[in-house]
């Protein structure tokens, strides 16, 4: 199918060819997404469809794509996730701290609580039951938060960390977990929305007909999604923003090298994000800060993320997934139960108004990616009439750098190897209690808010 004479192995031409094939798969996934009603109805991303196409055509099933090609795709997420994270804090400005705290604090507390549960409970279950019973690696309990909240990017980006810490198959398990989480976010989120509408938990959508009409069209009128303050005769806008991202990554490399003696195996992507923060602080003091366009940075992030997801899913090692299938199913089922309890119990008690809308965006993010969370929110609040989107956006700078694929997520495997799953799991459950205590003292979390908020 792919004779060696066409592409010389190990060359840049080989890489270009493999990327071109990956692009063809992504295009095919997009075409199927636009054509097949099932994919439309359940908002299945084109990159997810494309990833499964690559997996089916890969060496473990049909064998159309050679192992070398798929292995190259598998190495892309570790690189592309750095491109996704590096600009995360570039171009950001904080508004009024009083205004931000009013909207962001309940969301921030709720997000930290969810992540603490998503790290702590799987680690405890793994340490107490799964590791002794199935004799899996000590890091097994980390794959839920890394895969679900972290997504395919974080799971792929942790490949080197898992290998360094002695679990080479960890990345494939984490990527499988990420795929499960993404599907749970999409299908499970839509099921929960339908339940919420029927029981009257939603603030905007009040019946099934409204829910159907709230679904967004796949194709709309053309509109600008990035802007440039630079004349193209100076530099192309995407080139300028790519150069800023490059500087952030270089700073991240320096930081990674400096921290490595203290925290060995820390991946590059959280350090690149800190590098982006340093770039942002420096540029904010100059007149050039106004040249930064957040929308352009997001387009670059989006491009990297689309190819990342396709490459990550297509390169999943099916034999490793089969090996860990039973313990992964157990850990997944426990995590689903915890997530449902977290959503229905803490949501109404953390948010005084519009609890369902505030909670559903977090549920989508905790299982998949930000896009899934926003998609679920747009489904129940199509015109963004509630404060959920504003609060969610304001809490991002105080949450995303640390959890859901951030610095703390990257540190958890090292902590588990240093101590063990049980100790680290208990530690994160203690953190969840501390979050609840703080939220109670601030008047955010209230046990008796149930009846007034139409919760179960």
- The predicted model gives 303-325 an average pLDDT of 89
Q: How confident is the model at residue 100 (pLDDT cuts 50, 70, 90)?
A: low
Residue 411 has pLDDT above 50, yes or no: yes
Residue 49 has pLDDT above 60, yes or no: yes
Q: How confident is the model at residue 96 (pLDDT cuts 50, 70, 90)?
A: very low
Q: What is the mean pLDDT of the chain?
A: 86
CB 408 within 8 A of CB 415: no
- The predicted model gives 38-57 an average pLDDT of 88
CB 400 within 8 A of CB 88: yes
- 221 Cβ contact partners less than 8 Å away, ≥ 6 residues apart: none
> Residue 3 region, left (φ>0) first, then alpha (ψ -120 to 50), else beta?
beta
Q: How confident is the model at residue 420 (pLDDT cuts 50, 70, 90)?
A: very high
Q: How confident is the model at residue 148 (pLDDT cuts 50, 70, 90)?
A: very high
Q: Nearest-CA neighbor of 375 among 361, 390, 356, 394?
A: 361
Q: Which has more pLDDT, 328 or 104? A: 328
Q: What is the pLDDT of residue 14?
A: 86
Percentage, residues of the chain above pLDDT 90 = 45
Give me 295's structure tokens.
Answer: 């929308």
Three-class secondary structure assignment of 230-276: CCCCCCCHHHHHHHHHHHHHHHHHHHHHHHCCCCCCCCHHHHHHHHH
Q: Which has more pLDDT, 207 or 443? A: 443
- Euclidean distance between CA atoms 361 and 346, whole angstroms: 14
Q: What is the pLDDT of residue 452?
A: 43
First to last CA, the chain: 57
∠ CA 161-167-169, nearest 5°, is 100
Q: Nearest-CA neighbor of 269 among 368, 365, 160, 181?
A: 160
Q: In 279-410, at which residue ranges do the beta strands (DSSP E only) sit?
A: none
Residue written as token pair 């908020």:
453
Domain boundaries, the chain: 12-207+302-453, 237-301
- Euclidean distance between CA atoms 142 and 151, whole angstroms: 13
Give me 93's structure tokens.
Answer: 């400005």
Q: What is the pLDDT of residue 95?
A: 52
- Euclidean distance between CA atoms 336 and 427, whole angstroms: 21
Whether the full predicted model's pTM is greater than 0.85, yes or no, is no
CB 306 within 8 A of CB 26: yes
Q: What is the pLDDT of residue 93?
A: 72
Q: Which has more pLDDT, 104 or 453? A: 104
Q: What is the pLDDT of residues 350-359, one digit of tens each?
A: 998 899 999 9
Residue 281 has pLDDT above 60, yes or no: yes
Distance of CA 425 to CAs 116, 338, 384, Å? 9, 14, 37
CB 189 within 8 A of CB 333: no
Q: What is the pLDDT of residue 454?
A: 46
Q: What is the pLDDT of residues 10-30, one digit of tens each?
A: 578 888 999 999 999 999 999
Residue 278 has pLDDT above 70, yes or no: yes
| CB atoms inside a 10 Å sphere around CB 322 | 10
Q: What is the pLDDT of residue 2?
A: 46
Range of weakest confidence among 89-98, 115-124, 237-246, 337-346: 89-98
Q: What is the pLDDT of residue 235?
A: 86
């Amino acid at each position: 199918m792919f004779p060696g004479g066409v592409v010389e192995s190990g060359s840049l031409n080989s890489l270009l060819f493999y990327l071109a094939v990956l692009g063809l798969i992504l295009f095919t996934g997009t075409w199927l997404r636009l054509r097949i009603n099932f994919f439309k109805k359940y908002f299945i991303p084109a990159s997810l469809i494309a990833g499964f196409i690559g997996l089916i055509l890969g060496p473990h099933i049909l064998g159309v794509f050679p192992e070398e090609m798929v292995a190259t795709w598998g190495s892309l997420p570790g690189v592309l996730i750095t491109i996704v994270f590096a600009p995360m804090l570039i171009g950001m400005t904080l508004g009024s701290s009083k205004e931000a705290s009013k909207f962001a604090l309940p969301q921030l507390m709720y997000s930290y609580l969810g992540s603490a549960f998503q790290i702590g409970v799987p680690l405890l279950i793994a340490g107490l039951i799964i590791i002794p019973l199935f004799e899996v690696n000590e890091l097994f309990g980390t794959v839920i938060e890394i895969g679900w909240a972290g997504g395919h990017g974080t799971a792929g980006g942790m490949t080197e960390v898992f290998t360094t810490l002695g679990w080479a198959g960890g990345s494939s398990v984490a990527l499988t977990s990420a795929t499960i989480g993404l599907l749970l976010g999409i299908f499970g989120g839509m099921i929960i929305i339908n339940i919420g509408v029927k029981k009257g938990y939603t603030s905007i959508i009040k019946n099934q007909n409204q829910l159907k009409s709230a679904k967004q069209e796949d194709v709309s009128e053309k509109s600008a999604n990035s802007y440039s303050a630079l004349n193209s005769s100076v530099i192309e806008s995407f080139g300028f923003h790519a150069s800023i991202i490059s500087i952030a990554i270089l700073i991240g490399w320096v930081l990674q090298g400096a921290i490595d003696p203290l925290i060995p195996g820390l991946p590059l992507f959280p350090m690149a994000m800190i590098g982006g923060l340093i770039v942002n602080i420096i540029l904010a003091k100059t007149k050039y800060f106004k040249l930064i366009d957040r929308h352009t940075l997001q387009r670059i992030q989006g491009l990297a993320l689309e190819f990342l997801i396709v490459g990550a899913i297509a390169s999943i090692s099916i034999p490793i997934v089969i090996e860990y299938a039973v313990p992964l199913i157990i850990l997944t089922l426990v995590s689903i139960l915890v997530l449902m309890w977290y959503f229905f119990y803490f949501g109404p008690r953390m948010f005084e108004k519009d609890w369902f809308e505030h909670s559903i965006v977090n549920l989508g993010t905790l299982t998949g990616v930000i896009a899934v969370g926003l998609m679920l929110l747009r489904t129940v609040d199509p015109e963004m009439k509630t404060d959920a989107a504003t609060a969610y956006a304001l809490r991002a700078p105080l949450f995303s750098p640390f959890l859901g694929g951030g610095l703390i997520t990257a540190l958890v495997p090292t902590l588990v190897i240093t101590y063990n799953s049980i100790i680290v799991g208990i530690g994160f459950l203690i953190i969840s209690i501390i979050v609840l205590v703080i939220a109670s003292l601030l008047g955010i979390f209230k046990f008796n808010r149930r009846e007034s908020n139409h919760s179960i």
